[in-house]
Amino acid sequence: MSFAGEVAGQLGNGRENDDTAPDTKFPRELAMRAITLDEAVKIINATFAEAKRRNAYPLTAVLLDAGGRMKAALKQDGASLLRFEVSYGKAYAALAMGRESRQVLQKAKEKPLFMQSFLELADGPMFLEGGGQLIRDNDGEVIGAIATTGDTNEVDDLCAIAGIRAAGFKTDQDFSDADMRRLNIKRGPPIEDPEKAAKPAAQLKSV
């Protein structure tokens, strides 16, 4: 039986007002995956753990749900003023444009008039710098975004990416080329890791 026929059959049996009948009109698979508070805090804590491992400057992290509303925010001791606002703006920019915030910055450089108009339409603040990462589930669906600030853009990004992965989620960096096309992922060049760049320099000094 077709979907329409099944619904019509239920109506014909007088089940339209039966609250106990299963709802076949909107299958559960179509419901948006919402990130939970526990998951959000786990991501931020893992982000801060990576910052500690890297001996980074004090970070502030803001995590937004897929609708751009704040789910969780934490600020490390010693983080400076306005870091919350900066992190919020990075995360919102990533969600608004559907890409890492560093890619939003690149878009602004390439098409400044477009971004000027885009910013005027936005119902939330956007801060155009690296450090904002989309949070995706295993299927690639965006379920939120996290942004950090306090260190260099590269370190901010790498800490956020490590936090997302540690909590069992994926970033835009974690999909194949085929999945990128299917999900319309805008992935930029690899993020330069200061730790990896420092190792060759240290080796040259030792020689």
46-88 tens-digit pLDDT: 999 999 999 999 999 999 999 999 999 999 999 999 999 999 9
Residue 166 has pLDDT above 60, yes or no: yes
Do residues 114 and 157 both lie within one domain?
yes
Domain presence at residue 90: yes
Domain presence at residue 84: yes
**Burial group, residue 75, by CB count within 10 angstroms (0-12, 13-18, 19+):** middle
Name which of 26-40, 85-99, 126-140 the model is least confident about: 26-40
Residue 21 has pLDDT above 80, yes or no: no
Domain presence at residue 193: no
Give the domain range for residue 89. 37-188
Mean local confidence (pLDDT), 153-169: 98
Do residues 83 and 20 both lie within one domain?
no
Residue 204 has pLDDT above 90, yes or no: no
Angle at alpha carbon of residue 127, lines to 126 and 128, rounded to 5°: 115
Do residues 16 and 49 both lie within one domain?
no
Q: What secondary structure letter does DSSP report for 45?
A: H
pLDDT for the residue numbered 32: 66
> What's the total number of domains in the chain?
2
Do residues 19 and 76 both lie within one domain?
no
Mean pLDDT of the residues in the chain: 86
Do residues 160 and 183 both lie within one domain?
yes
Do residues 89 and 23 both lie within one domain?
no
Domain presence at residue 146: yes
User: pTM for this one?
Assistant: 0.80
Identify which of 185, 159, 176, 181 has the alpha carbon closest to the alpha carbon of residue 103.
185
> Higher confidence at residue 100 or residue 22?
100
pLDDT for the residue numbered 123: 80
- Helix, strand, coil percentages (3-state) for the chain, rounded to 5, are 50, 15, 35
Do residues 130 and 160 both lie within one domain?
yes
